[in-house]
Amino acid sequence: MKDDDLKNAIEKLELENIKMEHVSKIGEGAWHNVYKIERNLEKDLVLRIRKKIAYGQLQAYKEIDLITEYESSKVYYQQANQCSFNICPSVFDYFLEESSVFTVECFMGKGKILQCLSDSEAFTIGKELGEFFKVMHRKNPDIQGFGNIIWNGKYLEGKVKQETNYIWQKDNDFYLCILNSLTTSDLTFNREIVENKIVNLIENRRKNVQKISLVNQDVTPENIIFNIDNVSLIDPFPRLDFDLKYAGYFVFSYKFLLPAYSNASRYRKHAYNQNSSILNRIADGFMNGYISDNENLYKCLLDEYILWILLEAYEHYETLIESELDPKTLQQMGDKDMIKNRLTLCLNELENLSLDNSFTFFNKRGF
Ligand SMILES: Nc1ncnc2c1ncn2[C@@H]1O[C@H](COP(=O)(O)OP(=O)(O)O)[C@@H](O)[C@H]1O
Ligand SMILES: [Mg+2]
């Protein structure tokens, strides 16, 4: 990161009278270097300067992709704030030039670090998030369509334009298709139990069409600011998809995905495996906030969790078939041995969940 990029951004924002001692680096993700700008009379700001190299590779300037990404964040922040006051930055803007790309938004606080959260704080934060996502998912999105969101030159739209029922049936067909790939593979797992479970689950799922909502595909703790009783969400990765499916994704991320991925270099520094009990409490709180005590909704959420494990197993299996891993996959998923081990973990979880009923899931997970 060159100082020049930072100075240039501050100039563009017409904040030249800000002294450099009021600008400090507060974080960094895979894509941005992040600075806080302290101001005397107005709210502090956050400047996110886009890295030119991400995942070890020089990133080409692709304007449409950048507009898509930042306009999606803007819309997500707006809708989120309508659902829960100030859960996301109320100001968000971005600047695009081939030589410099940056965003500016409100500073949302420092938050507690994950490992310092007590059991009850983790549960409370999870519950708050669950309650928020429930309202967020109920809202009709301003963006039409389904799937990945794209900027068409004038406005954002979902890439898929088919009718909801058709998309829903396709979604269900897809799971049966990946189930078939796994059961006809040479992998070792209890095919009969898993197949039975998934086929029944999908048969039931087909009848309960879910709602298309604006969902967030990146709910990792790096993008959540753990202010107790005032949690904030930043850096969303929105898409249009089914509500319960993505509530299940949150639970899946916190109970399984994050601990399971902590050996990959992208996630190693966060040591999520050492904090798995805190992540678990966040997920428990989330379920409590999202479903309250609706037994049927709980069952459906658990089914979605199982389907995410199935998808994860399939993606690991597919990745192993490839002769060489690209640098991004290597960083995010790890080497072939790590992928093999994680695949075994997925298959074990899938078998256990196919045997268990939801009651044991409750207990095993400390709900
Ligand atoms: N608006 C904000 N308020 C407070 N902290 C922030 C804000 N935006 C980013 N950060 C901090 O910077 C880190 C990286 O920011 P992020 O936007 O997630 O980067 P990336 O896009 O590379 O993932 C976050 O984990 C958080 O600690
Ligand atoms: Mg991030």
CA of 206 to the centre of ligand 2 (A): 34
**Of the residues 47, 55, 235, which should be mutated to test ligand 1's pocket, given the most ligand atoms within 8 Å of the CB?**
235
Q: Of the ligands numbered here, which is closest to the C-alpha atom of 270? A: 1
Mean pLDDT of the chain: 94
Identify whether the C-beta of residue 211 lies closer than 8 Å to the C-beta of residue 243: yes
The ligand 1 atom nearest the CA atom of 109: 4
In angstroms, the CA 24 to CA 19 distance is 11
CB-based contacts of 254: which residues, under 8 Å, 6+ apart? 126, 279, 280, 282, 283, 286
Q: Residue 226 forms beta bridges with which residues?
A: 112
Identify whether the C-beta of residue 325 lies closer than 8 Å to the C-beta of residue 331: no
The ligand 1 atom nearest the CA atom of 29: 22
162-176, 236-250, 257-271: the lowest-pLDDT one: 257-271
Q: Could you tell me if the CB of 104 is within 6 A of ligand 1?
A: no
**Whether the predicted pLDDT of 367 surpasses 50:** no
Phi, psi of 221 (to 5 degrees): -55, -25
CA of 367 to the centre of ligand 1 (A): 30
The residue-averaged pLDDT of 173-197 equals: 97
pLDDT in tens, 91-124: 999 999 999 999 999 999 999 999 999 999 999 9
Q: Could you tell me if the CB of 108 is within 6 A of ligand 1?
A: yes
Q: Could you tell me if the CB of 54 is within 6 A of ligand 1?
A: no
Which residue has its alpha carbon closest to ligand 1 atom 12? 27
CA separation, residue 334 to residues 36, 103, 245 (Å): 32, 30, 26
* Residue with the two structure tokens 């369509």: 145
> Would you list the domain boundaries of the chain?
3-106, 114-148+161-364
pLDDT at 77: 98
pLDDT at 44: 95
**Whether the predicted pLDDT of 360 surpasses 70:** no
CA of 165 to the centre of ligand 2 (A): 33
CB-based contacts of 322: which residues, under 8 Å, 6+ apart? none
CA of 34 to the centre of ligand 1 (A): 6
CA of 110 to the centre of ligand 1 (A): 10
The residue-averaged pLDDT of 51-73 equals: 95
**Whether the predicted pLDDT of 2 surpasses 80:** no
CA of 165 to the centre of ligand 1 (A): 37
CATH no. for 114-148+161-364: 3.90.1200
The ligand 1 atom nearest the CA atom of 48: 17
pLDDT at 147: 98
pLDDT at 235: 98
CA separation, residue 329 to residues 31, 69, 73 (Å): 16, 21, 24
Q: Of the ligands numbered here, which is closest to the C-alpha atom of 46? A: 1
Pairing mode of beta strands 224-225, 232-233: antiparallel
Q: Could you tell me if the CB of 101 is within 6 A of ligand 1?
A: no
- Report how far apart the first and last C-alpha atoms of the chain are (Å, whole number): 44
Which residue has its alpha carbon closest to ligand 1 atom 19? 29
CA separation, residue 55 to residues 30, 52, 134, 234 (Å): 7, 10, 33, 21
pLDDT in tens, 284-341: 999 999 998 788 999 999 999 999 999 999 999 999 998 899 988 999 999 999 999 9
Helix (H, G, I), strand (E, B) or coil at 241: strand
pLDDT in tens, 190-237: 999 999 999 999 999 999 999 999 999 999 999 999 998 799 999 999
pLDDT at 366: 46
pLDDT in tens, 128-167: 999 999 999 999 999 999 999 999 999 999 999 999 999 9
CATH no. for 3-106: 3.30.200.20
**Whether the predicted pLDDT of 20 surpasses 90:** no
How large a percentage of the chain has pLDDT more than 70? 96
The residue-averaged pLDDT of 52-65 equals: 93
